[in-house]
Amino acid sequence: MYIPEIPKNSLKERIETIVGYSKELSDEFFEFEEPLSDTEIADWENKNDIKIPDSYKEWLHFSRRATLGSGAADFYEPDEFIVDNDEKPVGIPDECVVIGELGGWGVSVCFYKETGEIMYIDHDDECRDLDFGDILDWVIDRLEGCM
């Protein structure tokens, strides 16, 4: 299993915990891809006229795309973000960008285009005012339940 270099940012400890679980649990359920550069992130932002929240950029500096655990989470790279309203899962506000999913049962991780506020939407229930570290905390709790 490929594990990118862990960046020295606010997500460092959470990423180290997830990587540790990936080594303890079956490697086949974890996939990390190479990180994105600041230039690649800026190019996507400029092309789409959307600013990616800083806390998710910190994750992208670790892995551009990732699958964590057996359905614990999938996080998308910018080219996979769901921006088009016709492609979004039911219940996702038009002004949101979908950047991943939790739990494998349709919980979407999103951010508001205008504010960068990260949230997750579980069908019609919203949990707002998060940063990406809060999402990783949820994933870590789920992975701990697998130990």
Query: For residue range 81-97, what is the model confidence (pLDDT) as tens digits?
Result: 999 989 988 888 999 99
% the chain with pLDDT above 90:
67
Q: Is the pLDDT at 44 greater than 70, yes or no?
A: yes
How far, in Å, CA of 60 to CA of 47, rounded?
17
Residue 91's CB is within 10 A of a number of other CB atoms, namely 13
Q: What is the pTM of this model?
A: 0.92
Q: Is residue 7 within 8 Å of residue 62, measured between CB atoms? A: yes
